Structure formats: structure tokens, C-alpha cells
Amino acid sequence: MSRIGKEPVPVPAGVNVTLEGDTITVAGPKGTLTQRVDPAITVAVEDDTVVFTRSSDVREHRALHGLYRSLIANMVTGVTDGYERTLQIVGVGYRATARGSDGVTLQVGYSHTIDVDAPEGITLQVPNPNTITVAGADKQQVGQVAANIRAIRRPEPYKGKGIRYAGEHVRRKSGKAAGA
């Protein structure tokens, strides 16, 4: 049996988990998330836990067993605490300015500014001109929005300029050896 899949997901107080057919809905203080579950995986909501079982020992079903348990556990965490990704902007003249909680304007070395709009359920904050915080209840959506913002100007290896995740290490290159 899958070590991850057989572990029940605890449901904290204030979170409501409902099961309708093959769709699980998790509602909490930070929002509501839904996930469709493969028919090979059986989901049961018992007391304050969600339990997953699989129909057979086929390799695909074993993989889906742990996958859906992890997805639902991430949903429960998202609607209670939420997820957050921090991006740092490095470079002379590179900066971000907030346009409310739904957007950011970036100046990252192009001849024009770049406007980034947050999808529904995601908030973008700019605590200082060199930091962007992406927050929301859906872990996958938070990570995708952060990756899209980083892709606007990836960190380059010679001077390290660009947008990077907080704590990300950028491998630096030495450049040309001048005058031998």
C-alpha cells in the first residue's frame, strides 16, 4: 500500500469537506477549492478525517492513491493557512509597483513597463520595490503565477540580474578573461 495514500487527511475545525460523486469540495476561511477524483480511488469522509482507498494494486492506481491524498491535503492546508511565494527583483533600476491587490507593474530592463494581473483567488503584494509576494489558497495556482512572473525576466548568470525566487541560488559565470 502507498505510504502516502494510506495516511488519513485530518480536517481542522472550520473546514468543511463535501463529496459529490467523484468531486471533492473543501471550504474554509481562505476560500473554496474543488478537485475531481479518479474512479479507481475511493474517498470517504469519516469524523474529522478524509480516507483514501484504491480499487486494485495496479501501478497506475498505486500512483493515483498517493497523488489524490496529497492534492486533498494541500487543499485543506490552502483553505486554512493559504500558500505564499516570494519573488526578489535584482538589478539596477529594476522594481515593482503595486496596482491594488490584483496587479503589479514591473520595470525590469525592457523599454516598456510590464503589467501583471492576478487571476481570481490570487493576491499580489509589493512590500518593497524589490520584492513581490504571491499568495492564495490553491498551491498549484500560486506556484504557476510565481513562475509566470519569474519568466518575464529570468536571472542571468553573468550579473545575476532578473526576477528570482526568495532563497534561490543563481549559478554565476565568470565572463570573458580580459587581456591575456
Mean pLDDT within 155-175? 91
Q: How many residues make up the chain in this entry?
A: 180
Q: Which CATH superfamily is domain 83-165 in?
A: Ribosomal protein L6 (3.90.930.12)
Dihedral over Cα of 119, 135, 73, 75: its sign: negative
DSSP 38-59: -TTEEEEEETTEEEEEES---H
Same CATH topology for 9-80 and 83-165?
Answer: yes
Domain ranges of the chain: 9-80, 83-165
pLDDT level of residue 28 (50, 70, 90 thresholds):
very high
Q: What is the pLDDT of residue 179?
A: 56
Contact 50, 44 (CB under 8 A): yes
Q: What is the pLDDT of residue 175?
A: 82
Mean pLDDT within 105-111? 93
Q: What is the pLDDT of residue 178?
A: 66
pLDDT level of residue 2 (50, 70, 90 thresholds):
low
Q: What is the pLDDT of residue 84?
A: 96
Q: What is the pLDDT of residue 139?
A: 95
Share of the chain above pLDDT 90, in %: 77
Dihedral over Cα of 19, 7, 14, 84: its sign: negative
CATH architecture of 9-80: Alpha-Beta Complex (3.90)
pTM of the model as a whole: 0.89
Q: Which three cell numbers stand for residue 69?
A: 491524498
Q: What is the mean pLDDT of the chain?
A: 91
Residues 37-85 pLDDT 10s: 999 999 999 889 999 999 888 899 988 999 999 999 999 999 999 999 9
Residues 140-157 pLDDT 10s: 999 999 999 999 999 999
CA–CA gap between residue 175 and residue 178 (Å, rounded): 9
